Structures are given as C-alpha cells and as structure tokens.
A and B are shown apart, each in its own frame.
Chain A
Amino acid sequence: MKRILHTMLRVGDLRRSINFYTNVIGMQVLRTLDQPDENYSLAFLGFGDESETCVLELTYNYDKSEYNMGNAYGHIAISVDDCDTACADIKSKGGQVSFEPKQLQGSNEIIAFVVDPDGYQIELINRPYIEN
C-alpha cells in the first residue's frame, strides 16, 4: 500500500516548466489545478499514470518567479534507454545538458545531468535492466 507518490518542486514560470518537462523531457501533464483564491497553481507531470508511477508536482505561486535553491536538495533521476541519444535529443529541443554522459567507474551505468528552467538538476541514467 505504501509508496512514494510524487516529488514537489516550486517553479517560477509554470508554462515554461510544463513546456520543458513535456517537450524536452517527454513527460505528460497528468492534471493541473489552479487555485486563484490561494494564489497558486499545481501541475502534475510524469511518464505514467499517477495510480501506478511516481510523478513530479510543480507548484507555481502567483507573482513569485525565483526561489532560493539551497544546496541540500539534489535532483530527480530518470531512467533512459540511452544517455547519449537522450542528451542529443534534449539539446536539439533546447534543453541544457549540465553534465555530459559518462560511464561511472566500476559500474555499467552511464549517467548525465540536465538542468531545468529553474535550475533544478535532473539525472539521466541508462538502466537497460529496469522493468517498467
């Protein structure tokens, strides 16, 4: 019964973030909620249905375009079938690769990092053995 449902990040421009996570990363918008009475909007995005997969929640607080990113939170990690292809694809769509694909020492995993429009890092990992 217990499971991780989502990770929430605050973003400075919801439309810009939705555009990035859908067009560049390939997620789908699963649901949105606009709450004018409380001055915020939410968007849930992911690679699958919320009832089955962990998703990303983006919170937009009206009139707040920047946040202190701190140094404690790290990143979300996404499995891809090929890091090189994924990074080339992301670059061609205007995304920024902050760490080029590299094989980790003592591992057969290749990882890369992409940065989202607010500066949040996203790790890409090729894990061919991962089953959906």
Chain B
Amino acid sequence: MNSENTKFDIPFRLLYTMIRVADLERSVAFYKSALGMNELRRENFTEGRFTIVFVGYGNETSNALIELTYNWNEVNYEIGTGYGHIALMVSDIYAACKRFENMDVKIVMEPGPMTYAADETGHKEEIAFIEDPDGYKIELIQASVN
C-alpha cells in the first residue's frame, strides 16, 4: 500500500499519548466537558477485553491526541513516579482555573508565573496544574499574546 502514497517524505509525528483509565466514561466526560476535547474515535476489542477512546482538540490527521485505554477487568493502576504530565495550551489560564474550581476539578497548582524563565527571552510562562479523574497531572500553559 505504501507505493501509491507519495507523502512519505513527511517527517515523523507524535500522534498521541496513551494512558490507562479506571472508568472510561468518567474520563471521557472529563476530557470533553472540563477540557473541551472531542471524542474522535472509539474501538472495542471484545476478545482482548479493552476499549480505547481517542480524545483531542482536532482531527487526528493533524493534531496530537490522548488515547484513553480502558481494560474491562482492571481498575487499579499505579501512576508511579516516572510519567509526568500532558501539557495543554489555554487562552486564559485564570478563567480556565476558575471554571475548573466551579466544576470541582482538582487544582494541584494554582495559576501563576513560573519562578524561572524557560528560555533566553526571559518570558516567565504562566502555568497551572490540575488532575484528571485518575490522578494524571495536566499542565496548563497560558498562550502567549504575541
């Protein structure tokens, strides 16, 4: 099938990040209603007894997504200390966090400028951290105005 496609000189691309969740509908509801993502694709694997749902902000042909994996017989996971977080760009981090507060979303770090600038421009990013229903950390980063 490859021979017919001429777009192979495209660079590799990060497609998605997969996380396992204990309650699929709870997670889908969170990523949709709290974070404003769309459910883009859902697949059930009856034999393997798992369901995967892809959520994200745009079409998967041009946007990175999150893959939520729900194993039908497994609800206990340990996040460990290696995995960090997923970061999202938001247009108004303070308004977003106010909204999260009203929705009882767990805010683990209130929005504010970073202690240090992340690059040589000296611009201190405004960030916040929230938690998804499974306790995965999600970083919010204020979109720069320019």
Contact = CB atoms under 8 A, between A and B. Distances in A.
Given A1-B89, A53-B64, A74-B19, A81 B82 contact: no
Interface centre among B10, B14, B56, B77 (most CB of A within 10 A): B14
Given A9-B82, A68-B80, 14 more contacts: A3-B64, A4-B57, A8-B83, A38-B115, A47-B11, A48-B11, A56-B14, A68-B82, A71-B80, A76-B17, A77-B17, A78-B15, A81-B2, A81-B8
Contact of B84 (A47, A59, A130): A59
Contacts of A119: 82
Contacts of A82: 2, 8
A29 B61 CA distance: 24
A59 B56 CA distance: 24
Given A10-B81, A71-B78, A81-B10, A2 B15 contact: no
A132 B11 contact: yes
Main secondary structure of the interface of B (DSSP, over half): loop
Task: Please list the 9 inter-chain residue pairs (A to B) with the smallest Cβ-Cβ separation, ordered nearest first.
Answer: A70-B80, A8-B84, A54-B64, A74-B18, A67-B82, A72-B77, A73-B83, A68-B80, A70-B78
B1 to A, nearest CB: 6
A80 interface: yes
A120 B13 contact: no
Interface centre among B69, B86, B90, B134 (most CB of A within 10 A): B86
A130 B8 CA distance: 10
B65 interface: yes
B58 to A, nearest CB: 7
A3 B63 contact: yes
B136 A72 contact: yes
A131 B10 contact: yes
Contacts of B53: none
Given A77-B16, A78-B14, A81-B2, A128 B8 contact: yes
Interface string A28-62: 00010101011000100011100001111101000
A123 B2 CA distance: 19
Contact of A76 (B16, B69, B77): B16
A45 B104 CA distance: 34
A7 interface: yes
Interface centre among B2, B10, B11, B78 (most CB of A within 10 A): B11
Contacts of B36: 2
